[in-house]
């Protein structure tokens, strides 16, 4: 056998590697299961031309022209009118909180103006914080609405086919009128960056102690599981706070991202988000047996949370089941808060639901982690 290469020696190395691979169950599962899960998940969930977007309809009269307009908009497939209201302020808070992407307002004199032959108007307000969401819906709008109106009038009075009384569709791109994608991406990046560093750092917190053998000593000394958890989590909360300041300053100085809402509300929300992340990391730490496994679990969590949270693709554009999965990531809720507060100037009452959900994550992760933490080596 040659000194440089021997199939026997190579065989020994390969055998050893495969045995180790097989022994490490989590890694093995990751290599086989994760690609498949992610392919299915993202393949079906991601849609860059989102349809069936939630919309609110502000309408006062219930005449046949209005009904014709609404059904025409719905048949485009882009709009799904979840909310019908007569109050403009209710619609305003729906779009501010992110519950709807569009507000369609049909004025009370719409039917009268059509009948009189004046130019009727409808107003479409689109939430343009994510410019890609609204673009398809807006581009098809003018033609569809006009055709519908002509059709409807044709049925009523075959004579009135003059081009002068065309429908005016007024589009307001709210919150981000120029469609600058950074305005959407940079606040989102704050959440993604925090998630990446916070979860990863804390996920190895306990496994590192176990791997280095210091856990046995720590457990033999009088420290309670709660003390150990807080002791692990708090330092990273501080690190996270520093990151927040850095990212927000850069957002303002380098990218000129508008900062409409209250800074204290934003910081409070960020703090809650970071706490939920470090506790999530700590929870992973109680599941994983080695630092390597902890990192793998972190990444397993990381990719879907980026894809399904509304960071990379419009959340409302995903199928319902994918939106449900998305609801289970803290990032999803944080993105709604940070976009609402920074770009729309939302106040506390408009983001309360999301903040409450983040708090529930904190309680759940912390509770499970404490329950899973073993005070003994059993």
Chain residues binding other proteins by CB under 8 A are 212-217, 219-223, 375-378
User: With respect to other proteins, which residue has the nearer C-beta, 242 or 377?
Assistant: 377
Residue 215 CB, nearest approach to other proteins (Å): 8
User: With respect to other proteins, which residue has the nearer C-beta, 82 or 216?
Assistant: 216
User: With respect to other proteins, which residue has the nearer C-beta, 35 or 231?
Assistant: 231
User: With respect to other proteins, which residue has the nearer C-beta, 2 or 376?
Assistant: 376
Residue 370 CB, nearest approach to other proteins (Å): 16
Residue 227 CB, nearest approach to other proteins (Å): 9
User: With respect to other proteins, which residue has the nearer C-beta, 239 or 348?
Assistant: 239
User: With respect to other proteins, which residue has the nearer C-beta, 36 or 377?
Assistant: 377
Residue 217 CB, nearest approach to other proteins (Å): 4
Beta-sheet pairing, 168-174 with 121-127: parallel
Residue 208 CB, nearest approach to other proteins (Å): 10
Q: CA-CA distance, 56 to 83, in Å (whole number)?
A: 5
User: With respect to other proteins, which residue has the nearer C-beta, 44 or 226?
Assistant: 226
C-alpha dihedral (257, 198, 278, 208), degrees to nearest 10: 180
Here the tokens at position 144 are 């569809």
Residue 206 CB, nearest approach to other proteins (Å): 14
Residue 219 CB, nearest approach to other proteins (Å): 6
User: With respect to other proteins, which residue has the nearer C-beta, 236 or 329?
Assistant: 236
Residue 220 CB, nearest approach to other proteins (Å): 4
Helix (H), strand (E), coil (C) string for the chain: CCCCCCHHHHHHHHHHHHHHHHHCHHHHHHHHHHHHHHHHHHHHHCCCCCCCEEEEEEECCCCHHHHHHHHHHHHCCCEEEEEEECCHHHHHHHHHHCCCCEEEEECCCHHHHHHHCCCCEEEEEEECCCHHHHHHHHHCHHHHHHHHHHHHHHHHCCCCCCCCCCCEEEEEEECCCCCCHHHHHHHHHHHHHHHHHHHHHHHCHHHHHHHHCHHHHHHHCCCCHHHHHHHHHHHHHHHHHHHHHHHHHHHHHCCCCCCCCCHHHHHHHHHHHHHHHHHHHHHHHHHCCCHHHHHHHHHHHHHHHHHHCCCCCCHHHCCHHHHHHHCCCHHHHHHHHHHHHHHHCCCHHHHHHHHHHHHHHHHHHHHHHHHHCCCCCC
User: With respect to other proteins, which residue has the nearer C-beta, 13 or 220?
Assistant: 220
Residue 216 CB, nearest approach to other proteins (Å): 5
């Amino acid at each position: 056998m040659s000194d440089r290469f021997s199939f026997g020696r190579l065989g020994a190395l390969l055998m050893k590697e495969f045995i180790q691979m097989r022994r490490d169950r989590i890694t093995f599962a990751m290599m086989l299961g994760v690609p498949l899960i992610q392919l299915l998940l993202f393949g079906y969930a991601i849609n860059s031309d989102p349809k069936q977007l939630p919309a609110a309809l502000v309408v006062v009269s219930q005449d046949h022209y209005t009904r014709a307009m609404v059904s025409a908009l719905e048949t485009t497939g882009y709009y799904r009118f979840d909310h019908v209201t007569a109050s403009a302020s209710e619609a305003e808070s729906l779009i501010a909180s992110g519950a709807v992407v569009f507000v369609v307002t049909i004025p009370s004199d719409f039917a009268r103006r059509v009948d009189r032959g004046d130019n009727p108007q409808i107003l479409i307000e689109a939430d343009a914080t994510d410019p890609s969401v609204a673009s398809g819906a807006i581009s098809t709008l003018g033609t569809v609405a006009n055709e519908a109106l002509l059709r409807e009038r044709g049925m009523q009075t075959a004579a009135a086919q003059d081009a002068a009384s065309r429908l005016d569709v007024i589009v307001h791109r709210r919150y981000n009128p120029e469609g600058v994608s950074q305005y959407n991406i940079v606040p989102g990046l704050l959440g993604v960056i925090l998630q990446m560093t916070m979860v990863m750092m804390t996920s190895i917190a306990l496994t590192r102690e176990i791997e280095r053998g210091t856990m046995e000593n720590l457990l033999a000394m009088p420290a309670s599981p709660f003390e150990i958890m807080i002791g692990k989590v708090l330092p990273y909360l501080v690190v996270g706070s520093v990151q927040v300041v850095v990212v927000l300053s850069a957002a303002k100085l380098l990218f000129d991202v508008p900062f409409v809402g209250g800074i204290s509300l934003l910081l409070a929300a960020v703090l809650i988000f970071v706490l939920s992340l470090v506790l999530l990391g700590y929870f992973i730490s109680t599941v994983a047996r080695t630092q390597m496994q902890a990192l793998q679990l972190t990444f397993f969590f990381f990719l879907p949370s980026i894809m399904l949270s509304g960071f990379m693709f419009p959340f409302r554009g995903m199928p319902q089941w994918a939106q449900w999965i998305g609801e289970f990531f803290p990032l999803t809720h944080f993105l709604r808060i940070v976009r609402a507060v920074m770009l729309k100037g939302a106040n506390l009452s408009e983001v309360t639901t999301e903040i409450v959900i983040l708090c529930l994550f904190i309680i759940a992760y912390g509770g499970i982690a404490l329950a899973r933490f073993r005070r003994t080596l059993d």
